[in-house]
Structure 1
Amino acid sequence: MPHEPNPSPRPRRRHLRRALLAGCLVLTVAGGYLTGGFIRFAQEVAEFSRLPGVDRADGIVVLTGGALRLDQAMDLLKDGKGRRLLISGVNPGTSAGTLSRLTATDRALFDCCVDLDYAALNTIGNAEMTDRWARARGFDDLILVTSDYHMPRTLLEFGRVAHVPVIKPYAVTRADLWKGEGAVPSGRGIKVLLVEYAKLLATRIRFATGIEDRKAVSETAQLTHKSSS
């Protein structure tokens, strides 16, 4: 019985070439989008680092994560830029006395005008706990203190969670992350910006898909909030 001839390999090769070309095109477009997005993100961060001083607000909130953030937030409080300061995301083992010594601040100022949030576990938790604090205090506008590279993602989270009408960004800049006048990131700065850009994209995806982070605040804070609701 005669054998049927094998189909020509040419159509298969043609389909493979088309698939490879399509894959290369998708990768090129995605790479261009991500690269362009990163450049825009770096420019936005650089603009935050060059913002002038802020006007007075009802309160000030600083997100933990660096000594410079806390020092500059305390300076704003001492200068009368806000009536009270919330330090959000404090390590449970850190007391007000320790923070007053670290920032060279009179303990009396801590006792009268500083609130410590031990519950926030991440930026989402910072936004949630700040919202509770501001509503409890009746504050309508806040000065938000965090690092310049952290500010875009923080404002995104605060815009979704916090109900405070006005958030005034006050960006803290680390000199080792920028060159010259702060327009161009250093080698270390590029690494920090890339990591933060990835987190920003993840946040946008989370918003688009409706996924919620259930570990934003500690379980103790969640239980307290439910019992007071």
Structure 2
Amino acid sequence: MFRRFVAFVLLVWLFGFLWFAIALPGPLPASQRTDVIIVLTGSSGRIEHALKVLEEGKAPDLLVSGVDREVRPREFAAQFSVPPRLMKCCVTLGYRAYDTRSNAIEAAQWVEEHGAKSVRLVTADWHMRRAALELGREFPEGVRIERDGVPSRPSLGALFLEYHKLLARAALDLWER
């Protein structure tokens, strides 16, 4: 009986990991509009994608969460070729976050300040599920998260680690209820 239970748990874990690794969230349709955009710093392509969406007018404001404290707005604008008018009106650099959990706290405060009801969350495809879970826990009631996954080529190790972080966060949510 015990062996069957362990075998069942291992199969559930294995199929869950396969689903997690194969069915990575993709980008939103180009026509999708939201009240704001939030991009979490990290792997390449995230910030560039969020700025492109902002420039296309799919949302009026962008929070870049998790910016290194040493980075000044002028440096950021130069590195990512952000026009000064766009930087001044529409881009907020968030310096308080250092991990996904603190990204969620920083983003929730910013979303509340902006009165947003819909958020385009931009992060790497492999990071999207846990990031959306964390943000959803912190956001005010009624805020809709639209997942805009930036395609990447994560290593098996990165997927393995992220899958277990997601499982741990989901288990903690169940425990807290």
Q: CA, structure 1 residues 135+199, in 2 after alignment: closer, same or farther (shift >3 Å)?
A: same
- Between stretches 163-172 and 77-86, larger displacement belongs to 163-172
Cα distance in structure 2, aligned partners of 1:150 and 1:103: 22
The answer as to 2:23 corresponding to 1:44 is: yes
AA partner of residue 32 (structure 1): L
What's the offset of the Cα at 1:50?
Answer: 5.9
AA partner of residue 199 (structure 1): K
Aligned match for 2:144, one of 166, 171, 184: 166
Runs (4+) of structure 1 exceeding 3 A deviation are: 24-27
3-state SS of paired residue (2:120): strand
AA partner of residue 36 (structure 1): F
State the structure with more CA Rg.
1
What's the offset of the Cα at 1:192?
Answer: 2.0
Q: Which runs of 5+ in 1 are unaligned?
A: 1-20, 178-187, 212-229
AA partner of residue 13 (structure 2): L
- Between stretches 59-68 and 202-211, larger displacement belongs to 202-211
> Normalising by structure 2, what TM-score?
0.90
Aligned match for 2:10, one of 27, 31, 41: 31
Does structure 1 retain, via aligned residues, the 8 Å contact 2:117–2:143? yes
* Residue of structure 1 equivalent to 2:116: 139
Cα distance in structure 2, aligned partners of 1:173 and 1:55: 17
Q: Which runs of 5+ in 2 are unaligned?
A: none
Cα distance in structure 1, aligned partners of 2:45 and 2:18: 26
Map 1:1-229 to 2 at 5 A.
Answer: 22=2, 24-45=3-24, 48-49=25-26, 51-163=28-140, 165-174=143-152, 176-177=153-154, 188=155, 190-210=156-176
3-state SS of paired residue (2:14): helix
> Normalising by structure 1, what TM-score?
0.71
Cα distance in structure 1, aligned partners of 2:170 and 2:125: 19
What's the offset of the Cα at 1:27?
Answer: 3.2
Per-residue Cα deviation, 1:164-209 (whole angstroms, up to 9, x for no partner): 52111111012x44xxxxxxxxxx3x22211110110111122122
What's the offset of the Cα at 1:123?
Answer: 1.2
Q: CA, structure 1 residues 159+112, in 2 after alignment: closer, same or farther (shift >3 Å)?
A: same
Cα distance in structure 2, aligned partners of 1:86 and 1:206: 27
Q: CA, structure 1 residues 202+54, in 2 after alignment: closer, same or farther (shift >3 Å)?
A: farther
AA partner of residue 90 (structure 1): V
3-state SS of paired residue (1:67): coil
Highest RCO, 1 vs 2 (Cα 8 Å, sep ≥ 6): 2
What's the offset of the Cα at 1:54?
Answer: 5.0
Cα distance in structure 1, aligned partners of 2:34 and 2:170: 29
RMSD (Å) for aligned C-alpha atoms: 1.9
Per-residue Cα deviation, 1:142-174 (whole angstroms, up to 9, x for no partner): 111000011111111122111252111111012
Cα distance in structure 2, aligned partners of 1:107 and 1:206: 43
